[in-house]
Each structure stands twice: as C-alpha cells, then as structure tokens.
Structure 1
C-alpha cells in the first residue's frame, strides 16, 4: 500500500488529546498571499485597545502578562472567531506537551469527546477505562467538571481539566437524553493502556473481531485475528466498531484494504488542491469471507471511514445505530516561533461521495441497544449474527436489495 500520512482522528482524553492531526509539516505557507492583509484601521484598533488597558487596567503593570502572552492571546482570539472547534492555535509549550502525550502512556479517563453546536459531547468511552466503568455513553453532554460549568469552554479547555495524574479524582456532571436531572460521575484517573483488538469465535463458524481504536499496531493485530479465526473455522466475520472514536487514518485504510480488492477507500474535499486527496486499497484481499460491521453513536472518524468504505464497495453490511459524524481533516501548520495551528482543511467522503462530517453513516439494519460485555444481552450483536446467518444461507446478498426487517431484533423480542 502506498505510504500515507498518519492522521489521528477523534479526541482522546489523556495522551492523544488531539482533534485529528496530520503528523507532517504543512509544506510551507505558499497560499499565504491569498489572504487579505490587515488594513491600517484594524492595526490601529488593536493598538488603541492595548493602550487603554495598559493605561487604566488595575493590574496592567504586573509582570504576569508578557508580550508573548498578548500576542498569543490575539492570535488565539482570531483563530477561534471562525467557530470551528477543531481549528485552533497552540503555543510551543502546549504543542510539545501534546506531541509528548501522543508518544506515551498517560493519566486520564479514556474517553473520546467532540464539540457540536457549542456543546461538549462524549463520542465514546474506551473499553476498560474509568469512563466506561462510570457508564458514560455516546452523546452524553459534559456540563460541569467539579464545580466549574464548562458551557462556553473550548474543547481543549475541557481536555486539560479532565486529564491529570493517575490516581487523582475528578467529578463530571452530564446531561443525558431522557434524564431530567444532571448525572454525577465520580472517577479516578488511570494510566490508560490501550489494547485495541480482541477476537473470538461466536459460534462454530462466525468469527468476531472487536476493534476499540485505530492505532499503529491495529492493522497487524486485526490481520492476525482474521487469520486465527479462519484457522478456527470461521466462514463469516463480524467486525465490531461500536464506541470506537477513531485513531490513525493509515490504520483505517490498511484495515479496509484487508477486505477490498483495490479501489477507493476514502477521499477528502477542501478549498485548495492539496486538500483534495483519494486513498486507495491495493489489489488482492486478506479475506473474502462475508463481513458484517457493527456501528453505533460512538463510532466516529476512522470507524466511519472503514464502515463507509466496505459498505459503499458492496463488501459488507452495517448493523446498529447511526454513527457520530466526525469526518474532518486537520493539518498541523508549524509557525515561525515554535507555535502552531491545527486547521480543518477538508472533509472526508466515502467511495460513493457521501460526506461523513455532521451527518454520520446509517446502518443497513437499524437495531437499538448498547454495546455490552455480556454477549447474551447485546441485542445489536444478536442482530449482526442473524444477518450473517442470512447472508451465508443466501437469504441476503450483495449488492443489497430488499427489506431487512425480517432480521430485526429488539430487547423485548426476536423475530
């Protein structure tokens, strides 16, 4: 497969606290001449405002505020005026901390979050972390951290207040649909060690692969899981991407490539030519076994790329609930003093041209329910198993045509 840039997609509270980063230089600022220059009135307004503050503000003669603080504050304000929570300015100290975090273990809660219409939303808790143990769910809105109301905060203010040293407590208050009062969640930060892939046989002939996030080792781990399941007699596969908030773009493309015989996996569309890109699978597949993919409200970014690719290419059917809808591309632009800008430069589209961002991906078989460690209580997984059985019996074929309602499974009944 051609080498592609690593892209972290999603927001992981802890080490990888990012909102989708192209881990590469921005290739220079050759487009800077397209930007309208500041006019003299704008510069004079800034100078006038500073002069008034320095003359009259009671603490203005303090050494606590430096020239660099003023400059960074002005740049941060200008960037945030665009209203995109994923386009942001970071000073050199924060940039270094984020890059260090991405390389190691971390103390945190194990939760992907995003921002939509000003609200801080849980995308998904990560399996086995404090967030999952506290029963956080996709679409929960974080309202308070401790005694601080976070409404109006930017995404990274929330991140910085949620993460901390392992062993330290944190309390968050959430608003959940269907609940009248705020829910209080007491958690203790842990050192998050992520195991992204689990697998097992669900029956004599149906293999199950659970992928909780897309990291650099995920493709090889998924590949090993598929090979082992086939050796155990699997004649059909279920890939579970529920509550998977994202990860590395190259991992998403490589995993899609295991099921696709060449062709488009995902494309990006932006304002400038270099933001428009198409990423392809290589000829040949690791497996041609029938495939069903589980998604839900906590499936975002890289999960949506994989689900969209295999469904659009008539390689798999999707079961569960509509995905989160996080499909934008952020590029890191390094600035001259060591600070940087993360800028949303494009949005993802599936092979059929469907835009993911803010829209999400709807399943072929819509089944209500939550992911559960107890498989006999996992209604969505039961739906995926019934669909896989129907595919293997020839009752459902790809490309899909007809109604799948005969496969619907609910918590109250199976039909």
Structure 2
C-alpha cells in the first residue's frame, strides 16, 4: 500500500477522481442516448418532437380528457394508413384477436351456425359431434335467451361472444321450436369446434370435387384427408375450386402444392424489399400425383389462392377455368402484441414459377368462362324491412334478384321501391309460402331470395360445368392411352 506524501497530493488525487467520475458519467449518458436512438430510430426524426409535444399537450390540456393507450393506438393506426397500402393494417385489441382467429383451426363454442331473420336468431345448422348436437339442438330452433337473459335486440357479434368462451366452461341457452309450445333450455359444456376450410364430394365419372374456401392453419390437413377419401372412392381427376377464396396463410398453401406438384418443380418465388433477396419454394412431393387437375377461379380468387393456381398451371400442367384472378401479388407478415393488437405489414412480393409478376394483373385462365350477372349481387341487409317508398342500392339489389328469379318488377332496376316492386315481392312471397305476403321485404323474404339464387346457380354454374367437361375429356384420354399401351403389350 502506498501512502500520500502530502495533503496537496491527496487533494490532487481527489480532484482527478472526481473529474474521472464526471467524465465516466457523461460518457455513460451519451452512450445511453446513442443506444436508445439506435434501438428506437423514431427518436432521430425531427417531427417526433411534434408527436411527443402533441401527446403531452393533449394529456395535459384537452378539455374532455384522454386515455394514453387510445392516443398511441390512434397514432400507430394513422402511421400505417399513411403508407397508402390497402393490405397493410393495424388492428387494435379485439379486432386484432379476431384477425388472428380467422386463421386458426378451431374455435371454442357450442357448434351452431346462426342466421338472422326478422329480428330473431335462428340456428341454420348444427355441427356434427358438437355440444349443441349432443344437447339435442336442431336447425330452425330460435334462440330466446343465454344464461336466462333475453337476447332480444342484441347484436350478432355480442351474441357470438356470449356463446363462445373458455374450453370446459358451461353455457345455458333457451330456444323455441316450431312444433313445440314450451321453450327448451339446455346447458352445454363449451368445446373446441373445428373450422372447416375444405369441403368435397365425388361427382360422376370419377371427378373429385374439392372446394378450398381459404387457407388457414389446418387447411392442408383437411385437404389431405379429402384427397385420401376421394381416392378410396375411385377418384380419376381433381376439380379444385378456389373461387372467391381470399387467400390466407402461405405454409398450408405450400404444403398442398407439395402434394400436387412434381418434386423439385418451383411453387413460387418470394422477393424481398428492393429485391435484395429471393426465396424460392420448390415442391417436396413424396408420392407422385398422376391424376389430371382442373382449377376453377373467379375475379375474387386472391393471394394464396393465386399462388396455388399459378403453381398448378405452370409447374403441374393443370388447366385453369373461369376468370382472371384478383391480382394480389404481395405478401404480408403479421405480428400480435401483448394487448392482442396486430400489425399486418406488406413486406415482400411474389412471382409465379415462370417468374411472372401478378400484382394488379392476376392469373389468366386457360379457358375463360363467366357466370350470370346475379352471382355478383351483394347480400341484402339483415335486421331491416324494405317497403314501398324506400330507395337506394339495397332496393336496386332486391329488384335485380327478383328479376333473376323471374319476378320482374316490370321496369328498370332503378333503386326505387315502387308499386311494381311491391307487386313482384308479393308474387314471390305467395309462390314460396311466405307469410304475410304483404309486399314488404323482411329477413324471411331476403333469406329465401338468397336460397333460391343459390339453387339457380347450381343449374347455371357454367364454370363448374366447363371444368367437369374438360376433366372428363382428360380422364378419357388417359384411359384410352392406358388401354392402347396394354393392347400393344
């Protein structure tokens, strides 16, 4: 240990130590500022001061008061909107959770599908093996109460929220049934209900018809199961319907492509910002697919539906029938925050296997086929009554529906609910047994109109008819080729 020689030496040492501490503190502070700015680049922007000052002023002086979270959420929402990108979005809280649930493979509930009709909520269908089916609920039962509280005047979203809940929890509902005078009350235990995004059926001549409504977490599994069942039934060709499919998750899309596209063939190319990198997805097929494929599209087939369509067309030789697809050739990645809010941001774009950009262009069909005009009509608003004297777009849609079904209002679809429109509605109501046949369009009439249009489309689905016709020809060609080879041997 050394000893200071004098008091002056001790003082000089103390001063040096003090200066060192100050300089170290200053360096640490400066380093902290630099680190903070590097970690939060927004702090480098001069206009960030405007945001901060505005926030402080609002919180301090705004007459009606403000919630900090609401202000910050609003700022984030506005920031994303400023991108002028229709696909990028910031969804706050429950809206973000609903966005994520849209891609999940199951929901927790009782297993019923509802329709709203004349201010009442009616069970449209009961899902097989669900708590509702086990409790004896049936289609056309009308909901009256949940947990003993009347649902009269309740919004559909609020009702769905009450029916859903945590797995294993119980819920009691009361329904009325057409053939019974007394209401029925049942208590059910909520369970996981699978969300089906794939439906299928075996058509004539060995055509396996598969519809993919969107691409969610379990879509690839559901598709695989559908193909396995159709194969057992003797499928000879696949008619794949992605009409009005809005897209969804890329992973299940790639998995389905792996099953249908020859191994090693390109499925798509994902190109990053400023084309700094390209990720090419190639098929990892394990079992060779040998059956012909026809894909049905319309102008509402978008995003992941276009990825699969283009891949099948360019890498698997599939025939595309219908209309040019929507043209969404960009990729969003979404992240969910602790408060359930979601940021969905456009971060890449994609090309078809042959390197074609489709954004704003779409995938062209090999065979163009259109559907009747009535298939583009929007749904009529539920929970309202349209009557003589009303006017607007909904009335115009009603007139177009009536005309398509052969109940012409005897005039142009001008959006005015006149005497001719009322008369056409009365004719339709009488023909369908809707009471009272008073010429007013309430939910019961609206729902029946939609049902009849769907039935009409089954007979006039020219895209499906053309797809089936082409597929039959391809199947026959393969059969003849096989027969020829056998006879040669």
| TM-score, normalised by the number of residues in structure 1 | 0.58
In the alignment, is residue 104 of structure 1 matched against residue 107 of structure 2?
yes
CA drift of 1:381 comes to: 1.0
CA drift of 1:108 comes to: 12
Aligned to 1:233: 234
CA drift of 1:366 comes to: 0.4
CA drift of 1:367 comes to: 0.3
Aligned to 2:47: 42
Aligned to 2:407: none
Classify 1:375/1:67 alpha carbon distance in 2 versus 1 (closer, same or farther; 3 Å): closer
1:13-53 Cα distance to aligned partner (Å, 9 max, x none) = xxxxxxxxxxxxxxxxxxx9699755664134335545765
Classify 1:164/1:347 alpha carbon distance in 2 versus 1 (closer, same or farther; 3 Å): farther
In our comparison, the structure showing a higher alpha carbon Rg is: 2
Aligned to 1:380: 463
Aligned to 1:317: 319
1:285-309 Cα distance to aligned partner (Å, 9 max, x none) = 4531111111112212221111110
- Residues 326-365 of structure 1 correspond to what in structure 2 (within 5 A)? 326-333=328-335, 341-365=343-367
- Residues 98-177 of structure 1 correspond to what in structure 2 (within 5 A)? 98-99=99-100, 102=104, 104=107, 163-166=157-160
Identify the range of structure 1 (195-204 vs 33-42) with the bigger mean alpha-carbon deviation: 33-42
Structure scoring higher RCO (CA < 8 A, sep ≥ 6) equals: 1
Whether the aligned pair in 1 keeps the contact of 2:334 and 2:343 (CA below 8 Å) is yes
Cα distance between partner residues in 2 of 1:47 and 1:40: 11
Classify 1:322/1:193 alpha carbon distance in 2 versus 1 (closer, same or farther; 3 Å): farther
Aligned to 1:249: 250
Cα distance between partner residues in 2 of 1:353 and 1:307: 14
CA drift of 1:88 comes to: 2.8
1:163-186 Cα distance to aligned partner (Å, 9 max, x none) = 553399xxxxxxxxxxxxxxxxxx
Cα distance between partner residues in 2 of 1:165 and 1:336: 26
CA drift of 1:349 comes to: 1.8
CA drift of 1:379 comes to: 0.9
- Residues 74-113 of structure 1 correspond to what in structure 2 (within 5 A)? 74-91=75-92, 95-96=96-97, 98-99=99-100, 102=104, 104=107
Identify the range of structure 1 (376-385 vs 45-54) with the bigger mean alpha-carbon deviation: 45-54
1:313-355 Cα distance to aligned partner (Å, 9 max, x none) = 1420100111122332222356798865322101222111222
| TM-score, normalised by the number of residues in structure 2 | 0.50
In the alignment, is residue 391 of structure 1 matched against residue 474 of structure 2?
yes
- Residues 219-230 of structure 1 correspond to what in structure 2 (within 5 A)? 219-230=220-231
CA drift of 1:386 comes to: 2.0
Whether the aligned pair in 1 keeps the contact of 2:261 and 2:316 (CA below 8 Å) is no
Aligned to 2:73: 72
* Bigger fraction of residues in strand: 1
Cα distance between partner residues in 2 of 1:385 and 1:234: 13
Cα distance between partner residues in 2 of 1:210 and 1:259: 15
Cα distance between partner residues in 2 of 1:108 and 1:362: 38
Structure 2: which 5+ runs fail to align?
A: 1-36, 115-123, 126-154, 163-192, 376-453, 479-489
Whether the aligned pair in 2 keeps the contact of 1:109 and 1:162 (CA below 8 Å) is no
Identify the range of structure 1 (341-350 vs 72-81) with the bigger mean alpha-carbon deviation: 72-81
Aligned to 2:209: 208
Cα distance between partner residues in 2 of 1:72 and 1:95: 12
* Bigger fraction of residues in helix: 2
Cα distance between partner residues in 2 of 1:193 and 1:212: 14
Aligned length, in residue pairs: 290
